[in-house]
Chain A
Amino acid sequence: MVKKIYFQSIFFSFFFIKEAFAAESGGMPQLNPEFWVSQIFWLILTFGIMYLVLSKLILPKISNNLESRKSQILENIEAAEKQREDSDAKLKEYDEIISKSKLEANSIFNQAREKALKDIGAKREVLDRQIDNEIAEAEKEIDALRKNAPDKINKIAIETSSELLQKLIGAEVNNSSISAIVDDLSKRNGDKYYGN
């Protein structure tokens, strides 16, 4: 109910307003030529000055600013790209150095090992040779000893037997006869004694 009255009042007041406006309206001021020349004059003046100032002073500055910013951003991007490439190259270099040094270390290790092995071989050879020499010398000595052994034994046997005979018999015995007997014996039993 209240709502209805509200909208009705609005609706009816439109009529009064329309009448009020109708009474006052006196055509469009736009079509009154009184100030046309003045408006044209001021329009040309203000617009002309604005156009001149904008086109000669302000717009070139703005376009300059935009250009310089654009070029600066491009430059920065370029510099960043370059630095990235540099760092990539450095990284590659670093990797290369690392792999090279690894290889070098490997080769050094191998060389050292080979050298050590060679040294060991050489020393062993020398030692072997020395040992061989010593063995040969010892064998020679043994041979010599062995060769001299029957004579010495014979001599000892002769001397011993002559002294033995002297003590037993009390008379001087001819050494030559004893040695003949010992020689004869040793020739007969030499093999048995020396195991040759």
Chain B
Amino acid sequence: MAANPMSQFDVYRIGPEIKVGAFDISFTNASLFMILSTVSILLIFNIGSKKNSILPNKIQLLAELSYTFVSKMISDTAGSKAKPYFAFIFSLFMFVLFCNMFGMIPYTFTVTSHIIVTFVLAAFIFIGVTVIGFIKHGFGYLKLFVPSGVPAVLLPLIVVIEIISYLSRPISLSVRLFANMMAGHTMMKVFGGFVISLGIVGGWLPLSFSVALTGLEILVAFLQAYVFAILTCIYLNDALNLHH
């Protein structure tokens, strides 16, 4: 019968247990799909950048379109000052996108459906952006929490709210991606279970739902990668161009 819809998120060891000190860094299915994603990204973009023809072939076009897409996204949201961080945001977008998309293949593991993965990414972005902000503006970066044009009476409240919203950035960023991935995959699994349990008579309805959900989930996979990248750009914009 239908398996547990959460069992698709199980992480299990592949090969022997590797321990460094007290830490278990064994190779797992999550590691496998991280490697698969990065290797396919590197493969596609390496092939896409190898030949420089005036009329690009399909892979070159794919690589160049992704490049211009991300570069336009960055320049639109964070301006020209964000140019040095282009490679990072490009890697981030591609990594999240490929992990999401690999998760859409049946029997695969979705790396981004784990809170710890998205949280590490989000925390790294949060810390990095904060460090960049303090390097660029010194303690003036704290003006981010004091919006201009606010009545002095409301200021203590606003500052507290701003600080809380700033500190919740990594949580919202990581939970958004993780929850979207987990919910989508759980839902698909549940509907897939319905197809089996309802059999040949009643299984068609959840099957059609499943088909529609697959389309939706592919959209969500792209959209969440985009949202993740663009929110990073917006946070970076706050750090680079302090205009509160």
In whole angstroms, how far apart are the Cα atoms of A40 and B31 in the complex? Answer: 9
Residue pair B120, A40 in contact (C-beta under 8 Å):
yes
Residue pair A28, B201 in contact (C-beta under 8 Å):
no
Q: With A43-B117, A47-B95 as known contacts, state yes or no: A54 contacts B9, CB within 8 Å.
A: no
Give the interface residue-count category, chain A: 35 or more
- List of A residues within 8 angstroms of B45 by Cβ: 54, 58-59, 62
For chain B, residues 27 to 50, give those with C-beta under 8 angstroms from any C-beta of chain A.
27-28, 30-31, 34-35, 37-38, 41-42, 45-46, 48-50
- List of B residues within 8 angstroms of A68 by Cβ: 52
Residue B26 interfacial (CB < 8 Å): yes
Residue pair A50, B178 in contact (C-beta under 8 Å):
no
Residue pair B182, A38 in contact (C-beta under 8 Å):
no
Q: Mark B1-27, 1 if CB is under 8 A from A, else 0.
A: 111111101110100000000011111
Chain B contact residues, majority secondary structure: helix
Nearest neighbor of A53 in chain B, beta-carbon distance:
B42
Residue A172 interfacial (CB < 8 Å): no
In whole angstroms, how far apart are the Cα atoms of A58 and B86 in the complex? Answer: 13
- List of B residues within 8 angstroms of A13 by Cβ: 194, 197-198, 202
Q: Can you list 22 A-B contacts (CB < 8 A)? A: A20-B1, A20-B2, A20-B197, A21-B193, A30-B113, A30-B114, A30-B178, A31-B115, A35-B24, A37-B25, A38-B27, A38-B31, A39-B31, A40-B117, A43-B34, A47-B38, A54-B90, A62-B49, A62-B63, A65-B52, A65-B60, A66-B64
- Sorted nearest first, the 8 A-B pairs with minimum C-beta distance are A55-B87, A42-B31, A61-B49, A50-B38, A24-B4, A46-B34, A65-B52, A41-B25
